[in-house]
Amino acid sequence: MNRVDELMVLNTISLSPNMSVKDAVRLLTQYKLDGAPVIASDGKVVGILTEYDLSLKGTGIHLPTLLKLFEEFDFYKVDKSKGGLATLLSMRVGDVMNKEPILLRRNSSITEAAKIFAEHHHLNPISVVQEDGRLAGVLNRHDLISYYAGGGSPLFRPSEGKQELDKNVNKFLGSFENRFLFVSKSRTKLWLIFSLLFLVIGFFVAIASLVRIEFR
């Protein structure tokens, strides 16, 4: 086995440029994908949407997490048509995708694919196209690592330390997101309790003032 089309995934999830980013995020989350090719109505690859593309450039904000936060709170249902939130929710895949995706041909070598993955750490997967540019499949980083780890080639073997580091990073990110959501909910409830408390205190202070004035 030394060709990309011998290792690629044939039946893969793809996105449309006109699909909302919100729906694309849900689709990637549902199938636990790091990214997916974006294809036009004629089947040709016009871009790719990855986790890296879903981080708002220059802000460090992770869009899927932000959308998840919006959906967790009631103001998402009330204010989703207002201001910046409306703009965010109206974003399309074509607005945030990488419009110059790296592509492989069916007959590209696995060695070539390995070099591309090594040079582009944020890229996953790589779209594999037919001669006419239509999508043929995708090559995932995980499948390539599994191939080499299984003895496909002695030139490239992922170290156990790197694999363990990747697991720890993913575990930390998942834990961080869960904690962040929990803390956000807790703070919201706490703010509500304090607001009600101050309202009650204010009410009694006002009553006390009126009673004082009355007795004078």
SS (HEC) of the chain: CCEHHHCCECCCCCECCCCEHHHHHHHHHHCCCCEEEEECCCCEEEEEEECCCCEECCCCEEHHHHHHHHHHCCHHHHHCCCHHHHHHHCCEHHHHCECCCCEEECCCEHHHHHHHHHHCCCCCCEEEECCCCEEEEEECHHHHHHHHHHHHCCCCCCCHHHHHHHHHHHHHHHHHHHHHHHHHHHHHHHHHHHHHHHHHHHHHHHHHHHHHHHHC
Higher pLDDT, 9 or 209: 9
The reported pLDDT for the residue numbered 180 is: 45
Give the pairing of strands 61-62 and 55-56. Answer: antiparallel
Higher pLDDT, 149 or 170: 149
Q: For 123-155, what is each residue's pLDDT tens digit?
A: 999 999 999 999 999 999 999 988 888 755 434
The reported pLDDT for the residue numbered 22 is: 85
Whether 156 has a pLDDT exceeding 60, the answer reads: no
Q: For 75-128, what is each residue's pLDDT tens digit?
A: 445 455 455 566 767 889 999 899 999 999 999 999 999 999 999 988 999 999
**pTM > 0.75:** no
Compute the average pLDDT of residues 5-15. 93
Compute the average pLDDT of residues 6-14. 93
